Structure 1
Amino acid sequence: MENPLLLSPQLNTCSKVKSLCKIMKSMNKEGAKPETKTRAQEKKNRLSLLQKAELHPNVDLDKFEKLAKASSESPQTVKKWGESFEKLISQKAGLDVFTRFLKTEFSEENIEFWLACEDYKKSEDLSQLSLKANDIYETFIKKEASKEVNLDFNTKELTSKNISHPTHNTFDAAQMKIYTLMEQDSYPRFLRSNLYLDLVNGRPQGCTALRRRSRSFTFNEFRDEQPDFAIWL
């Protein structure tokens, strides 16, 4: 008697699919291949990341929530930050936003050094100058310091000599170098950044980066993926 499955291509195809499913289920019961489980988990992780509204391409998720807090300043006030670097960092809100920008570039040590120097010059207890001066030197200027700033050889040498007899002006040369570096290098990039442009236009911070990241992430991560029956069984 002729096999009825051969009479209908659709029935034949259906039968093959059912057979394949049985084989895949059998494999799952015996234990799916390690790489199959890994791929399935990776896809779940990717989808989970896409669902997080605070996703940012330059910082990790644990820190991004703090970086994405909206500024309470009006767009009009924010626009004034674009008039000069001095106006930006003279306001607490502007200084905070600029610091957040430097963190995305991993160069926040520059503004931290500048602030430390400002605090140092306000010291009223002269007996504490030496202690504070050494602390700033060890943290920001010494070779391979934990937050070493980018200073030329001559400025470092001058500052090192000033440490032996600290005054309120010990770090003036170094502070001016870093101020100029931020003003001429970091500040122009800040004005072109999505962080600043979002504030100027009254958009929630990070929304532009999120849209760009979502499109790029989806295309790059899934364009080469092949169907995996094990995920659906």
Structure 2
Amino acid sequence: MATIKLGLVDDHNLFREGIKSLLNKIPDIQLVLEAVSGKDLLEQLDHVVPDVILLDLEMEDMNGVDTTIVLKKTFPDIKIIILTMHKEERMTSYLMEIGANGYLLKDTNQKELEDAIRSVYEKGIYFNAFVSQALLKGLKNKANKPPAIGKNYQLTSRELEVLELITKEYTTTEIAEQLFLSTRTIEGHRKNLISKLGVKNTAGLIMKAIKDKIISV
């Protein structure tokens, strides 16, 4: 089993210590970076690049929103899980739209934290009940114009198959097994879908597919 390299960004020492104590109980998740702000994080990324980053929203120097935007431009392969006390659904929806891969409240337990880290590492996305509700409400609020059903997307039948499995949260390996293709081929389809739909990541693909009714859910 591969070791997941994790970064933790939060300006509260006690909270970081609590998260570290939870992570110490998970042998294949290794904390490789610890930062107190977005600015601190970006400076450290010159030396070490985690697979997944747990990112707080409210920090001095550079907050979580600005950090997410910069990370997605400069380190697009890093997966981001927002870890915060904010329960505002509009904020959740916005962060997922700009590139966050998951959103957790700070009162989460060890199991959900572990599940979220593994999910974004393996699938590129983590949905829990809170995130799903926030996204659906966000999409509903934007649905006051007719959906662009396949508009200018020109998706092939294979890409549609892959997209449908992505929305069901299948991993690349699972999709490859389902369609009898190589994982490299599936990753190629995923990149093409991201490009054609004009999104940033797997979360964006799922939101776009639902919003524009490209696939039925």
- Please, what TM-score do these two structures have when normalized by structure 1? 0.21
Of Structure 1 and Structure 2, which has the larger fraction of its residues in helix? 1
Of Structure 1 and Structure 2, which has the larger fraction of its residues in strand? 2
- Greater relative contact order (Cα < 8 A, sep 6+): 1
Larger radius of gyration: 1
